Amino acid sequence: MAGYSVDGTRLWSRLMDMAEIGATVNGGSHRLALSQDDEDGRELFLAWCANRGFTVVFDKIGNLFVRRAGRTPAAPAVAIGSHLDTQPMGGRFDGVLGVLAGLEVLETLEDLGVATEAPVEVAVWTNEEGARFQPAMMGSGVHCGVHPLAEALAVADASGIPVAQELERFGYDRGVEPGSHAIGSYLELHIEQGPILEQEGKSIGVVTGGQAIRWYSLDLRGEETHAGPMPMAMRRDPVRHLAAAAELVYRTGTADADARATIGRIETRPGSINAVPGELHLSVDLRHPDESVLEQMHGSLAEGIAQLNDAAEGVEISLEQIWHSPVVHFDAQLAAAVRSSAAARGYAARDMVSGAGHDAFHLAKAVPAAMVFVPCRGGISHNAQEFTAPEQAAAGANVLLDVTLQLAGAPAPPGTKA
């Protein structure tokens, strides 16, 4: 199908236009899930879709489905998706590239007058990042039945605002039931968020699966008191145990070269400069491509926390797992189609496992799914410096186009051998 190609200039222009919503002073984007900036980004995206006459369905968790009709309306749709929400002070490409490349595929089919047998859709999933509301990949998880809708609606952010309130504010509570909008297969394009493709001079990553992830809340509770009058020996200060807890986490993350451990948040309460904190809260992220090794890491961390708790007089230390995303294996036939497209177009490619979580992880439990990676400069992501070049973005979108045509059923481009 390499006879058809996307309009890379249009795709890049759309990426830059979207980046202006929630733009940060250092060139990044800040659109937290279900914030006004997130909704403004969605409205811009929907305006582009409406200009081409594509139809839209949304569900009660806020997922959007934009459809280009096929010759057989009842045929299972081929969905291309990702997310428009960003990390706090994040970059311009994480998630957004997948959504806008999906729109570019629909517009290219429309421009060329290519009729597909099955409908082709773009899915925008709610709260993929998990930065404002936990867990991550929430919208796709509810769609796939991984998370009950009622539980997701009850989740609140750090200010106490629940998901349900924000969905109602923007009218998503009037949507269809999550999961009732069926799709037949799923594709997702994403920046790699790592350095491998750039280091090896590859244009395309054929993602065969994703590593397992566990998130935890690590809490240390003592007693808050005035910083001046209370003698050091009498304090129940949880911060005194921070170094030992952090060392345990990072020691767990060195199980082998593939292990990962991260403390992303450290918060004291009440957070006053002249008060000994009564509470210390940490987030912990553990990852490994081997589920059994991650289970061992989990055991080591839990055992170490229990030992710290026994030794921490006057301070209670507890560990709670709040999310687990198991190892994911993507559809082998779809991965082969990605590989074939890259070869036909002369794009240097390699197989790889995703180190980050993506909505495709949930979709892979329900339908045939695959992912395509393109390089990101320096491997940097979740950062305003996140970058992929225009030609790299277009290459990924071209691979999406090829695989979509294969899945949706379309005539071969002129000059293509049968």
Residue 365 lies in a domain: yes
Residue 404 lies in a domain: yes
User: Same domain, yes or no, for 145 and 244?
Assistant: no
Question: What's the pLDDT at 418?
Answer: 40
Distance between start and end Cα atoms, the chain? 10
Distance of CA 28 to the CA centre of its chain: 17
pTM of the model: 0.87
User: Same domain, yes or no, for 321 and 332?
Assistant: no
The range of the structural domain enclosing residue 263 comes to 213-325
User: Same domain, yes or no, for 200 and 113?
Assistant: yes
Residue 414 lies in a domain: no
The CATH code of the domain that includes 232 is: 3.30.70.360
Cα–Cα dist 201/218, whole Å? 40
**Residue-level pLDDT, tens digit, the chain, 418 residues:** 558 999 999 999 999 999 999 999 999 999 999 999 999 999 999 999 999 999 999 999 999 999 999 999 999 999 999 999 999 999 999 999 999 999 999 999 999 999 999 999 999 999 999 999 999 999 999 999 999 999 999 999 999 999 999 999 999 999 999 999 999 999 999 999 999 999 999 999 999 999 999 999 999 999 999 999 999 999 999 999 999 999 999 999 998 999 999 999 999 999 999 999 999 999 999 999 999 999 999 999 999 999 999 999 999 999 999 999 999 999 999 999 999 999 999 999 999 999 899 999 999 999 999 999 999 999 999 999 999 999 999 999 999 999 999 999 987 776 554 4
Question: What's the pLDDT at 255?
Answer: 86
Domain count, the chain: 2
Residue 2 lies in a domain: no
User: Same domain, yes or no, for 274 and 319?
Assistant: yes
User: Same domain, yes or no, for 195 and 234?
Assistant: no
Residue 418 lies in a domain: no
φ and ψ at 401, to 5 degrees? -60, -45
In one-letter notation, the amino acid at residue 89 is M
User: Same domain, yes or no, for 124 and 18?
Assistant: yes
Whether the bond into 270 is cis, omega within 30 of 0: yes
Residue 3 lies in a domain: no
Counting Cβ atoms within 10 Å, is residue 44 exposed (0-12), middle (13-18) or buried (19+)? middle
Extract the tokens encoding 378: 């320096």
Alpha-carbon distances, residue 119 vs 75, 79, 341, 410, 415 (angstroms): 7, 9, 21, 11, 25
**DSSP code of 238?**
G
Cα–Cα dist 45/48, whole Å? 5
Last residue within a domain, chosen from 304, 325, 346: 325
User: Same domain, yes or no, for 181 and 51?
Assistant: yes
Last residue within a domain, chosen from 325, 348, 366: 325
Q: For residues 39 and 93, is the Cβ–Cβ distance under 8 A?
A: no
Cα–Cα dist 142/272, whole Å? 38
Per DSSP, the three-state class of 251 is: helix
Residue 1 lies in a domain: no
Last residue within a domain, chosen from 270, 303, 325: 325
Question: What's the pLDDT at 158?
Answer: 92
